[in-house]
Amino acid sequence: MRISVIGCGYLGAVHAAGLAAMGHDVVGVDTDPARIELLSRGEAPFYEPGLPELLESGMASGRLRFSADVADVADCAVHFICVGTPQKRGGEDAADLTFVDAAIDGLLPHLSARDVVAGKSTVPVGTAERLARRIHEVQPRAELVWNPEFLREGHAVEDTLRPDRLVFGVAPGAAGEAAAQLLTEVYAEVLAGGAPLVCTDYATAQLVKVAANSFLATKISFINAMAEMCEATGGDVVRLAEAIGHDERIGRQFLSAGLGFGGGCLPKDIRAFMARAGELGVDQALTFLHEVDSINMRRRVRMVDLAREECHGSIVGRRIAILGAAFKPHSDDVRDSPALNVAAQMALQGADVVVTDPRAVENARTRWPDLKFAYSAEEAVTAAELVLLLTEWPEYVALDPVELGGLVQTRRIIDGRNALDPDAWRAAGWRYRALGRP
């Protein structure tokens, strides 16, 4: 099937390459010529495991190409909208739909009867209904389906080719059913692989992604709230999480206490969700998310306070090594990175901070040019008086505390992700601290 993907950022590039791997003829369209040039060479403009290979395969097969001309979407049967919906500037929490509206406006002149527009961007509930009306004004026989994405950075290729569910939000009636049927043909391979399909209405489909992210954020902030209780009482939040995680109703996933969540999805999605609830007059339904957000941000402040405690009350002039800049491992994404937020706070308070990351140094340097960066953990920790593990990259978790101890000025480490073995580090002569642990 001929398919277009409009927007070739993180979501769109992975989705386009994934669709080509499923056997479709795909054209990815983006307004950024530099991004299109990179993708057309089979190069990923960001780090995502498995994506370069998927791009190379798609380009070699002739089933995948990229263009800066939206007219190239003509003759495609399905058009996926994969543009970003960032938080609005100026302190507003609501989602900025500028790119979504622009993508639809650019697509409309090229729509044909019976085309299906599939929205994947995360949008406030009510957006799909509005876009469907806009589409029908221009092409009454085209149809909109809302097909939210559930990609995890670092696992996006796997999540595209083997998703844990597909959701279609369709309009009532025969036209909506026909559009859903066409999308089942697009996803025939993953459906044959056992992926569950939930076919529902527009509103529910739009709510699924933000509801899922809100639940995950709540679970993370819950265990971090328990970490605060453990710090006040001498408890061990890792053992606490292990114990409650054995309850099948709770589960162990997303119960890892530490520095909290960041990135381009969870923080902005829960804030946009709260903003939309306020617009709908049901803001009390999501009041708890304010506390979820507050707990999450409080962890960053606590990390700086803990560093100050370890430096005997002052970090001014202290050389502090930060292991991690990306908001999570296996990614070079530094949007709302807790690690960089902590690094910047400490630098502003007079610390001599050096940040390193296996993949995200250049992105971090672009956003925080005043910080110091190193390209290896060994370089970062040399002569350090305190080391902070803030992104749990496997290579950092695997560091040898004995070897590292020979490079630092003082053997003190704060494990901001509860990822290290405290006994091994203490046995190597390190003073080990962690959030929520004695």
The secondary structure of 172-200, three-state, reads CCHHHHHHHHHHHHHCHHHHHCCCCEEEE
Query: Among all chains, which residue has been given the structure tokens 């954020």?
Result: 217
Residue 305, classified by CB atoms within 10 Å of its CB into exposed (0-12), middle (13-18) or buried (19+), is exposed
How many whole angstroms separate alpha carbon 305 and alpha carbon 313? 9
CA 305, chain centre distance (Å): 27
Tell me the CA distances in angstroms from 423 to 104, 108, 403, 427, one per residue in order: 56, 62, 16, 6
Helix (H) or strand (E) holding 308: helix 288-310
Residue 371: DSSP 8-state: S
Q: Which of 8, 82, 199, 265 is catalytic?
A: 265
Q: Which residues contact 278 (CB under 8 A, 6 or more apart)?
A: none
Based on the residue annotation, tell me whether 230 is a catalytic residue of this protein. no
How many whole angstroms separate alpha carbon 183 and alpha carbon 116? 8
Residue of 192, 329, 316, 185 lying closest to 256 (CA atoms): 329
Show which residues are catalytic. Answer: 265
